[in-house]
C-alpha cells in the first residue's frame, strides 16, 4: 500500500489532539477521539497541551531561543564545542537541515494547530471562554515565533509586506482532512494582522494575571497585551514618527508598566533561579521535575563544566563585545560567571527544583515592555520620555540615571539596554536585524563566520526541505534554492 506524502504541517494537523499531558489536576489522555476531545470537561487538559507543545526541546525547551542567541552578536561558539548549534552560529544552515531544525518548524505549528482545534471545536460556555482565550494567545505566539524565524524583519519589508509568500502559512482553522492539507504562505502583512487579531481576542477572553501570581504560567490578558507591544513595535514604520503603531505600543505598555514592578535587587540572578513568579514576569513556561531532560535541559548549553557546581556543555558563551557593555556596578553581572578565561551566562542554571539547567523560560517580562515603550517614544520623537524609560531600567539595575536625550544617544542606549537585559531570552538576532545591525562576532577564538548584513537572505531561516518536497504550494525563502 502506498501512503500519501504528508507535509510537516499536515502531520501536525493529524496529531493535533494526541498525547497532551496535564500539568494541573486532570489526568492525561493519549487516545482521545474527536467526540471526547472537544467536550467541556476536557477544556483544561486541552489548554494544558498547548504549553506542553511549546516546551518541546526544539521549541522553548531549548532550540528556539538558543538559535536566536547564536545568530546574534552577544554569544560565541569556539572550537571547543559539542557540535551543537555550530551551523547556526556560522550561518551555514541549508534547507536540508537536521531533524532538530525540522522540529523547530514543526513544534510552533503543533501549538497553532491544537489552538485552532480548541477555538473551532470546543463548545463556548462561560467555563470554556478562558481556555479559548489561552488558545488565541498561544496561536498568536506560535505564529509570531515562526514569523521571527522564517521571514524578514517587517522594518525591511514595509514596501513589500503585501507581496506573495513573504509571510508564513497560517493555521487559522481546525484542519478537517490532514492528508490534503497543503497550505501556501500568507503575505507578511496578513501574518502580522492574524497575530494581532488573535491577541485582541485573547485580551477579552483569557484569564487575568497579576504580579507574583502563578497565573503568569498560563496565557492571560496581560500576556496578550505585552505581546501586542512587541507586534506593534515590529510593524511600525521607522520613517514615520506619526505612525499609529507607536502610540499603540505606548497604550498597551503603560498599564503593564504600572502593574508589574521592575526588579531592583542586586541579586539579579535570583529572579531566574526561583520556581516562583517574580514581579516582572508576565508570561513564563514552568518546567517541573517530571520534565527534566538531563543533559538536554535548557541551561546546559550555556553552563560551564566547572568541576564543582555545574557540568554543562558550555558551548554558547558570552563574547567580548557583550562583556564590554557591562558596567562593574550593573546588577546583571550576577548572571555572568567567569571561568577558565571565558564568560558564561547563568540565567538558566536551574529553577530551584534541584535539577541543573532545568529552568522556567521567561517569554514576556515587563522590562521588555518598558524597552518597547522607550523605543516607541523614540520613534515618535519624544526623546525625553524615551530617555526616562531607559533611565528607569538603568536605575533598577544599579546604574546611574540616563539623561542624554539626543537622538544618537537614545538610540545607542536603547540598543545597549536591549542587549544587556534580554540576552539569552531569544531576542538577539531579531533585534539585531530589525534595527539594521551587522552580525559578526570578532573574538579571535570564535568559530569562523562571515559578516551578515541586515539585507542578507540568511536573516530569514530556510523552510525545511521536507516541507518543500511534500507541499507543492510551499515557496522557499529567497536564495536557498541555489
116-130, pLDDT tens digit by residue? 999 998 888 888 999
| Per-residue confidence (pLDDT) for residue 125, from 0 to 100 | 86
For Cα atoms 118, 11, 169, give the angle at the middle one, nearest 5 degrees: 70
| Per-residue confidence (pLDDT) for residue 37, from 0 to 100 | 53
What digits encode the pLDDT tens for the residues 284-300?
Answer: 999 999 999 999 999 99
| Per-residue confidence (pLDDT) for residue 16, from 0 to 100 | 56
| Per-residue confidence (pLDDT) for residue 266, from 0 to 100 | 95
Ranges in the chain, pLDDT < 70: 1-41, 97-100, 482
All domains of the chain in start order, with CATH? 1-206+451-475 (1.25.40.390), 287-348+355-359 (no CATH)
C-alpha separations of 463 from 6, 13, 154, 296, 334 in Å? 15, 18, 18, 25, 38
| Per-residue confidence (pLDDT) for residue 268, from 0 to 100 | 97
Is the pTM here over 0.95, yes or no?
no
> What H or E segment, with its residue span, contains residue 108?
helix 99-121
Say if CB 278 and CB 268 are below 8 A apart: no
DSSP for 80-106 reads SS-SSSHHHHHT---SS--HHHHHHHH
Beta bridge partners of 318: 75, 343
| Per-residue confidence (pLDDT) for residue 26, from 0 to 100 | 25
DSSP secondary-structure letter at 333?
A: G
Helix 99-121 vs helix 63-70: crossing angle, to nearest 10? 130
Q: Which residues neighbour 390 within 8 Å (Cβ) at sequence distance 6 or greater?
A: 371, 374, 402, 410, 413, 414, 417
Helix 129-150 vs helix 43-54: crossing angle, to nearest 10? 20
| Per-residue confidence (pLDDT) for residue 2, from 0 to 100 | 39
Q: What is the dihedral of CA 31, 34, 39, 45, to 10 degrees?
A: 40
| Per-residue confidence (pLDDT) for residue 40, from 0 to 100 | 64
Any long-range contacts for 442-445 (C-beta under 8 Å, 24+ apart)? 442/320, 442/321, 443/76, 443/78, 443/319, 443/320, 445/76, 445/78, 445/79
Amino acid at each position: 500500500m502506498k501512503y500519501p506524502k504528508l507535509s510537516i504541517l499536515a502531520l501536525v494537523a493529524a496529531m493535533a489532539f494526541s498525547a497532551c499531558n496535564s500539568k494541573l489536576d486532570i489526568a492525561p489522555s493519549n487516545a482521545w477521539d474527536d467526540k471526547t476531545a472537544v467536550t467541556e470537561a476536557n477544556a483544561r487538559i486541552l489548554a494544558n497541551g498547548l504549553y506542553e507543545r511549546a516546551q518541546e526541546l526544539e521549541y522553548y525547551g531549548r532550540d528556539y531561543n538558543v538559535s536566536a542567541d547564536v545568530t546574534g552578536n552577544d554569544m560565541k561558539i569556539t572550537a571547543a564545542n559539542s557540535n551543537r548549534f555550530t551551523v547556526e552560529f556560522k550561518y551555514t544552515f541549508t534547507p536540508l537541515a537536521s531533524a532538530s531544525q525540522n522540529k523547530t518548524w514543526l513544534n510552533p505549528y503543533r501549538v497553532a494547530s491544537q489552538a485552532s482545534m480548541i477555538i473551532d471545536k470546543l463548545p463556548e460556555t462561560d467555563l470554556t471562554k478562558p481556555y479559548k482565550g489561552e488558545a488565541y494567545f498561544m496561536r498568536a505566539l506560535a505564529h509570531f515565533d515562526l514569523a521571527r524565524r522564517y521571514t524578514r524583519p517587517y522594518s525591511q519589508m514595509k514596501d513589500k509586506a503585501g507581496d506573495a509568500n513573504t509571510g508564513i502559512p497560517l493555521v487559522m482553522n481546525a484542519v478537517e482532512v490532514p492528508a490534503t492539507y497543503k497550505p501556501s504562505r500568507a503575505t507578511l502583512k496578513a501574518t502580522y494582522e492574524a497575530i494581532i487579531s488573535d491577541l485582541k481576542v485573547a485580551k477579552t477572553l483569557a484569564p487575568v494575571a497579576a504580579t507574583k501570581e502563578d497565573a503568569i504560567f498560563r496565557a492571560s490578558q496581560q500576556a496578550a497585551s505585552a505581546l501586542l507591544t512587541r507586534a506593534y513595535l515590529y510593524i511600525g514604520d521607522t520613517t514615520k514618527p506619526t505612525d499609529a503603531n507607536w502610540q499603540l505600543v505606548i497604550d498597551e505598555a503603560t498599564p503593564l508598566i504600572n502593574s508589574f514592578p521592575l526588579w531592583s535587587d542586586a541579586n539579579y540572578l535570583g529572579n531566574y533561579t526561583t520556581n516562583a513568579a517574580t514581579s516582572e514576569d508576565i508570561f513564563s513556561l514552568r518546567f517541573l521535575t517530571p520534565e527534566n531532560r538531563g543533559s538536554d535541559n535548557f541551561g546546559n548549553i550555556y553552563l560551564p563544566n566547572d568541576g564543582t557546581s555545574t557540568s554543562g556543555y558550555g558551548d554558547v558563551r558570552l563574547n567580548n563585545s557583550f562583556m564590554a557593555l557591562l558596567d562593574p556596578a550593573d546588577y546583571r553581572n550576577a548572571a555572568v560567571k567567569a571561568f577558565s578565561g571565558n564568560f558564561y551566562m547563568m540565567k538558566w542554571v536551574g529553577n530551584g527544583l534541584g535539577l541543573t539547567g532545568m529552568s522556567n523560560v521567561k517569554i514576556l517580562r515587563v522590562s521588555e515592555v518598558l524597552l518597547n515603550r522607550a523605543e516607541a517614544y523614540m520613534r515618535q520623537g519624544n526623546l525625553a520620555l524615551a530617555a526616562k524609560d531607559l533611565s528607569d531600567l538603568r536605575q533598577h539595575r544599579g546604574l546611574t540615571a540616563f539623561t542624554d536625550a539626543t537622538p544618537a544617544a537614545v538610540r545607542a542606549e536603547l540598543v545597549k539596554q536591549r542587549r544587556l537585559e534580554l540576552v539569552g531570552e531569544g531576542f538577539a538576532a531579531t533585534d539585531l536585524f530589525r534595527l539594521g545591525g551587522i552580525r559578526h562576532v570578532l573574538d579571535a577564538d570564535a568559530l569562523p563566520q562571515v559578516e551578515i548584513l541586515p539585507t542578507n537572505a540568511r536573516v530569514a531561516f530556510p523552510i525545511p526541505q521536507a516541507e518543500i518536497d511534500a507541499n507543492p504550494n510551499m515557496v522557499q525563502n529567497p536564495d536557498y534554492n541555489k
